[in-house]
Homo-oligomer: A and B are copies of this chain.
């Protein structure tokens, strides 16, 4: 396969009112959803079309997720999520996430999620064979600091 040039800029969004709870902070379950938003945005930025993938019958469920809460985010805070493809075995991949306050630079959360590839019958799929472009991207970017990509591209 030919050489591919990647670029990436971290995912940012505001905290919504409906994501807070009666403690006045973001409910802890919502960070798991923020991770997903960041992951889907990462796929977009890397040129992987998740919708098309599901239409071809490949889904990427979550096997395991972990989240460590440091500093609560609040309504209207602007957060930045920095992902990293920690490892990719050909069958399973793990993405880690850091959620940072855009204004203060403080670390809100860290976490990771582990995923595999399945078909519509929830059976494992050999992604290298089924969707080689995903295999290539995950292989190329395993362990890479995504924020350094643009510098590399220059």
Contacts and interface: CB of A to CB of B under 8 A. Distances in A.
Interface string A23-56: 1110111101100110010000000001100100
Interface of A: 16-18, 20-25, 27-30, 32-33, 36-37, 40, 50-51, 54, 59, 61-69, 72, 74-76, 122
Given A22-B17, A28-B61, A51 B36 contact: no
Given A21-B20, A23-B59, A67 B64 contact: yes
Contacts of A62: 28, 69
Contacts of A76: 40, 50-51
Number of copies: 4
A67 B65 contact: yes
A29 to B, nearest CB: 4
Contacts of A66: 64-67
B16 A36 contact: yes
A107 to B, nearest CB: 14
Nearest to A24: B22
B37 A16 contact: yes
A50 to B, nearest CB: 7
Given A21-B20, A61-B72, A68-B64, A29 B29 contact: yes
Contacts of A68: 63-64
